[in-house]
Amino acid sequence: MRIGIGSDHRGLKLKEEAVSYLQMWGFEVVDFGTESSEECDYPKYAYLVGNAVVKGEVNYGILICGTGIGMSIAANKIKGIRAARCVDWKDAKICREHGNANVLCMADDSDVSLMMETWLTTEFEGGKHARRINQIAAIEDHSS
């Protein structure tokens, strides 16, 4: 399984830690940047990772910035992305079970190993949640 990952300057250190865990767990990681602690703009990385998810170049995406909020907002502008900003393992579990989130967004001070492990091992429940995901997709298709 291929995981795309990106961060801004504030998320760089945690991104590097996340990459180490993902590789240790046997995932192929595609790192979309940033590679520098120099200030940069997070929407670029949200786009790169989200676009790779939508195109099928990676199976899932992980984004890290100061709060995770900006990355989530930016990534969710891409049709087909369901990015969830999570603060703990419970959020990570529910966003996969109910929202079938395909991008995990985290703050630069998150418990990255527990959150990623939970998110990557939790399955989408389907059922009524699939109906709701389809409703969200319909909103995407009809808004401009």
What is the token pair recorded at 45? 């990385």
What is the token pair recorded at 44? 């670029």
pLDDT in tens, the chain (144 residues): 999 999 999 999 999 999 999 999 999 999 999 999 999 999 999 999 999 999 999 999 999 999 999 999 999 999 999 999 999 999 999 999 999 999 999 999 999 999 999 999 999 999 999 999 999 999 999 876
Give me the half-sphere count of Cα atoms (radius 13 Å) on the Cβ side of residue 123: 3
Give the pLDDT confidence score for residue 39 in this predicted structure.
97
Is 95 designated active site?
no
What is the token pair recorded at 14? 């945690």
Give the pLDDT confidence score for residue 18 in this predicted structure.
98
Instruction: Please state which CATH number belongs to domain 2-142.
Output: 3.40.1400.10
Alpha-carbon gap, residue 71 to 5, rounded angstroms: 12
Contacts of 135 (CB under 8 A, 6+ apart): none
CB 118, CB 92: distance < 8 Å: yes
Global pTM? 0.97
Amino acid at position 67, single letter: T
Measured CA distances, 124 to 15, 70, 81 (Å): 25, 25, 15
Report how far apart the first and last C-alpha atoms of the chain are (Å, whole number).
33
Give the pLDDT confidence score for residue 144 in this predicted structure.
61
Contacts of 1 (CB under 8 A, 6+ apart): 27, 28, 59, 60
Q: Which of 65, 86, 95, 105 is catalytic?
A: 65
Q: Which of 40, 86, 95, 98 is catalytic?
A: 98
The domain spans of the chain are 2-142
Instruction: Name the DSSP class of 15.
Output: H
Is 65 designated active site?
yes
The number of beta carbons lying within 10 Å of the beta carbon of residue 73 is 15
